[in-house]
């Protein structure tokens, strides 16, 4: 059985007007929110980067919803077994990572698995067009373009995903995979802290409006 990801929601207009906006100020987690909120929150800011550690969960950008924009994420892992992701298109501020998994989309950072679950894919829903991540502990640049329902992902300048948002995707096979269904054009974004096996560092998270520019292949 196969499913269609079709839109049923339009979740507001993002406030990013002109130019690139830095969502991480390089010093602290101002503007970000840990989900769920517990003791030993799973992220900290140190050495000019956001770093994973502590409680499992995700760090949500609590400002504007984001759509029709390119999100740039510059990250590295402390070792080859690092696991993380970037959540996009989350319809509302969630109270758990589970909500984001099943109502938004995870752009995978972990590169240990197959071509449906590797860096730059929409986790379990798209097959990688290329595998372009650099091994730990090198820095990687991921650019996620939201063009209406379409999601385009480049890793280190190489096209990995180009999904129109309505085409058929594989049947859900594992409990860890997201439920299939509609995703909004705009939504909140978040960083994932999956486990303590490796520290994942993010030195840039920024957003630039997307105005129908030609997407490089």
Distance CA 206, CA 198 (A): 23
Give residue 54's pLDDT: 77
Give residue 10's pLDDT: 39
Distances in Å between the Cα of 33 and the Cα atoms of 50, 64, 118, 139 are 12, 13, 26, 24
Tens of pLDDT along the chain (217 residues) come to 344 343 333 344 444 556 899 999 999 999 999 998 655 578 999 999 999 987 789 999 999 999 999 999 999 999 999 999 999 999 999 999 999 999 999 999 999 999 999 999 999 999 999 999 999 999 999 999 999 999 999 999 999 999 999 999 999 999 999 999 999 999 999 999 998 899 999 999 999 999 776 555 5
Distance CA 88, CA 86 (A): 6
Q: Are 206 and 74 in contact (CB under 8 A)?
A: no
Give residue 191's pLDDT: 97
Query: Is this model's pTM higher than 0.85 or not?
Result: yes
- All domains of the chain in start order, with CATH: 3-209 (2.60.120.560)
């Amino acid at each position: 059985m196969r499913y269609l990801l079709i839109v049923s929601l339009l979740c507001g207009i993002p406030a990013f007007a002109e130019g690139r906006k830095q969502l991480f100020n390089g010093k602290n987690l101002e503007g970000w929110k840990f989900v769920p909120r517990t003791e030993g929150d799973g992220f900290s800011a140190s050495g000019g980067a956001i770093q994973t550690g502590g409680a499992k969960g995700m760090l949500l950008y609590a400002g504007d919803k984001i759509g029709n924009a390119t999100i740039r994420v510059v990250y590295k892992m402390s070792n080859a077994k690092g696991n993380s992701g970037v959540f996009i298109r989350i319809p509302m501020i969630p109270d758990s990572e589970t909500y984001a998994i099943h109502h938004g989309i995870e752009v995978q950072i972990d590169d240990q698995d197959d071509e449906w679950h590797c860096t730059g894919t929409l986790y379990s829903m798209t097959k990688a067009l290329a595998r372009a991540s650099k091994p730990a502990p090198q820095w990687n640049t991921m650019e996620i373009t939201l063009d209406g329902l379409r999601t385009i992902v480049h890793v280190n300048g190489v096209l990995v995903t180009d999904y129109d948002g309505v085409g058929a995707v594989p049947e859900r096979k594992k409990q860890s995979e997201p439920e299939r269904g509609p995703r909004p054009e705009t939504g909140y974004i978040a960083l994932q802290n999956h486990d303590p096996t490796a520290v994942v560092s993010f030195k840039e998270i920024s957003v630039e409006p997307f105005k129908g520019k030609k997407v490089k292949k």
